[in-house]
């Protein structure tokens, strides 16, 4: 197949593009920066821009493609709500429309389990319905709307599948792993509550192989959403200890009541939104209500339907992932 992967300069997007290319498919990527993936054709542009010139932009990127894997998104704990809307909802609509005009027959939308997380524990559930009304935070709300938009375009000649990898991590991850390690190193990483909430995560190679499997299975499973995880829920304290141990830093031991963290997160978010722009502060706040909820509530998922429908199983266990992460940190200067 000829496959377009959007957002391939990101951590997961790069892994997906490499996986599909290695499997023998012809891969083109579309994003604002070079993907760095060997053997693919990079096309530079933005999913929020519709004006195209030859060999530049989305219209060229989708031309001649059989399938699209759409990962490009604004991923952040905070930010301008209008930007989340423009990129995650408007951009997804633009990619869907361009793909249909170009005659693409398969479309995999990479979503997030947060589209169905309303702040309460999720224990052993399958893929719950995406709910913009109940999702927490601008990222989750706009991803929920975008998933619904993509699935609404599903048709016999345009097979759409939504895949929700949960907490993807691995060597080279700057969104989750490096932030955890940096905060632990500075003594700013608490455990919320008792740190006993069971949480599913997904090693990056497993997430990439599941998305590839969804691409292959799309004609048979179109119109559906699937949560993807390693299927190895662990207490959040154990997960943080494993990550910190791999990086050679002390695991967190001090605790903050979960309710206090949620209230503090709400206050910090408000302060972050009101602060002057360009004042030298870091881009992400130290805590948000969404982050506090994610670290203090259980969220693990039944993987039986995902594995049976996509004909997929993870190949890298959590313990093997921690070993690979440790090797990565040992190799760093």
Q: State the chain's mean pLDDT as an integer.
A: 89
- Do the domain assignments include residue 271? no
Does the pLDDT at position 50 exceed 70? Answer: no
What pTM was computed for the model?
Answer: 0.91
Question: Domains in the chain: how many in total?
Answer: 1
- Do the domain assignments include residue 246? no
Give pLDDT tens digits for 153-201.
Answer: 999 999 999 999 999 999 999 888 988 898 889 888 888 877 888 999 9
From 113, 155, 158, 169, select the one nearest 136 (Cα to Cα).
113
User: pLDDT value at position 292?
Assistant: 65
Range scoring the smallest mean pLDDT among 37-51, 128-142, 264-278, 288-302 = 264-278
User: Beta-strand (E) ranges in the chain?
Assistant: 2-6, 26-31, 41-44, 67-70, 106-110, 122-125, 159-165, 168-169, 191-192, 198-199, 202-203, 225-228, 234-235, 255-256, 299-301
* For the ranges 39-43, 289-293, 295-299, the one whose mean pLDDT is highest: 39-43
User: pLDDT value at position 280?
Assistant: 45
Task: Identify any residues that bridge with 123 across adjacent strands, giving them in sequence order.
Answer: 300
- Whether 238 contacts 226, CB under 8 Å: no
And the tokens for 7? 């957002």
Domain range for residue 51? 2-166+202-229+301-315
Please indicate whether residue 139 is annotated as part of the active site: yes
- Do the domain assignments include residue 307? yes
- Do the domain assignments include residue 146? yes
Question: Is 318 exposed, middle or buried, given 0-12, 13-18 or 19+ CB atoms closer than 10 A?
Answer: buried
Q: What is the CATH number of the domain that holds 116?
A: 3.40.50.720
Cα separation, 317 vs 232, in Å, equals 8
Give pLDDT tens digits for 6-24.
Answer: 999 999 999 999 999 999 9
And the tokens for 104? 């693409």
- Do the domain assignments include residue 192? no
Between residues 190 and 41, which one has the greater pLDDT? 41
Range scoring the smallest mean pLDDT among 73-82, 92-101, 136-145 = 73-82
- Do the domain assignments include residue 157? yes
- Do the domain assignments include residue 290? no
User: pLDDT value at position 264?
Assistant: 64
- Do the domain assignments include residue 263? no
Mean pLDDT of 39-63: 81
Name the catalytic one among 139, 203, 226, 329. Answer: 139
């Amino acid at each position: 197949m000829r496959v377009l992967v959007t957002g391939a300069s990101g951590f997961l997007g790069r892994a997906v593009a490499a996986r599909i290319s290695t499997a023998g498919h012809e891969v083109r990527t579309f994003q604002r920066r070079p993907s760095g993936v060997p053997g693919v054709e990079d096309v530079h542009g933005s999913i929020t821009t519709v004006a195209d010139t030859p060999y530049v932009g989305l219209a060229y990127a989708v031309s001649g493609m059989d399938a699209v894997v759409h990962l490009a998104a604004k991923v952040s704990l905070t930010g301008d709500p209008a930007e989340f809307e423009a990129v995650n909802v408007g951009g997804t609509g633009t990619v869907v429309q361009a793909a249909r005009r170009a005659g693409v027959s398969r479309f995999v939308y990479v979503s997030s389990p947060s589209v169905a997380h309303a702040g309460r524990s999720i224990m052993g559930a399958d893929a719950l319905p995406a709910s913009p009304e109940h999702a927490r935070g601008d990222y989750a709300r706009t991803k929920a709307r975008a998933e619904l938009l993509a699935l609404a375009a599903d048709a016999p000649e345009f097979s759409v599948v939504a895949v929700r990898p949960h907490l993807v991590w691995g060597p080279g991850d700057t969104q989750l792993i490096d932030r955890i390690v940096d905060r632990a190193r500075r003594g700013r990483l608490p455990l919320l509550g008792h740190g006993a909430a069971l949480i599913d995560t997904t090693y990056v190679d497993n997430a990439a192989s599941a998305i590839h499997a969804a691409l292959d299975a799309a004609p048979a499973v179109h119109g559906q959403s699937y949560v993807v995880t390693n299927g190895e829920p662990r207490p959040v304290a154990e997960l943080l200890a494993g990550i910190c141990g791999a990086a050679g830093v002390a695991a967190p031991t001090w605790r903050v009541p979960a309710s206090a963290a949620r209230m503090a997160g709400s206050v910090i978010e408000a302060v972050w939104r009101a602060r002057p722009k360009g004042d030298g502060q870091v881009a992400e706040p130290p805590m948000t209500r969404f982050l506090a909820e994610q670290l203090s509530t259980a969220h693990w998922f039944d993987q039986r339907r995902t594995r049976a429908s996509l004909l997929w199983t993870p190949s890298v266990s959590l313990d093997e992932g921690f070993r690979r992460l440790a090797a990565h940190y040992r190799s760093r200067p």
